[in-house]
Structure 1
Amino acid sequence: MNLKRIFGAILTILGIVGLIYAAYVFMNTGGKVRDIKALAIYGILGLIFFVSGIGLIKQTKDAS
């Protein structure tokens, strides 16, 4: 297995975890500024990690 694919899988999993945590913060928010900042940070980072991980997995060709 290629190292890029492993790194892509790790990034994808981290992205999914970040998006799930952002959804959790969204469901338990009180509308405070601190909650909105946490929601934005985890949501954006989760989306970036998820998209970059999927991109690495799709673009990496198998050597065999």
Structure 2
Amino acid sequence: MNVKRIFGTLLTVLGIAGLVYAGASFVDNSVGKADIKAIILGGILGAVFFFAGVRLLATTKDEV
């Protein structure tokens, strides 16, 4: 069991969830000023988590 792979997978899933939340909030028609901040924050955090998780998975070597 490799902890880095589990953590990378967790970060990737959290990133996807953040990006989906931002996308769903963006598509919603009832957008106010507070919602715009939530969309931007969710999108940025989602992107950071997603790319960090993918990078961690790509750089972690398998142990035999």
Scaled by the length of structure 1, what TM-score is found?
Answer: 0.92
SS at match of 2:55: helix
1:53 paired with 2:53, answer yes
Query: Structure 1 residues 44, 29: CA separation in 2 closer, same or farther (over 3 Å shift)?
Result: farther
Between the aligned partners of 1:58 and 1:33, the Cα distance in structure 2 is 38
Between the aligned partners of 2:59 and 2:2, the Cα distance in structure 1 is 12
Between the aligned partners of 2:56 and 2:30, the Cα distance in structure 1 is 37
Between the aligned partners of 1:47 and 1:7, the Cα distance in structure 2 is 16
Q: Percent identity?
A: 50
Gapped regions of structure 2 (runs ≥ 5): none
1:38 paired with 2:38, answer yes
Q: CA deviation at 1:30?
A: 3.2
Partner residue of 2:6? 6
Contact 1:29–1:35 (CA under 8 A) maintained in structure 2 = no
Range 23-32 or range 1-10, more displaced: 23-32
Gapped regions of structure 1 (runs ≥ 5): none
The aligned length equals 64
Q: CA RMSD in A?
A: 1.0
Partner residue of 2:24? 24
Scaled by the length of structure 2, what TM-score is found?
Answer: 0.92
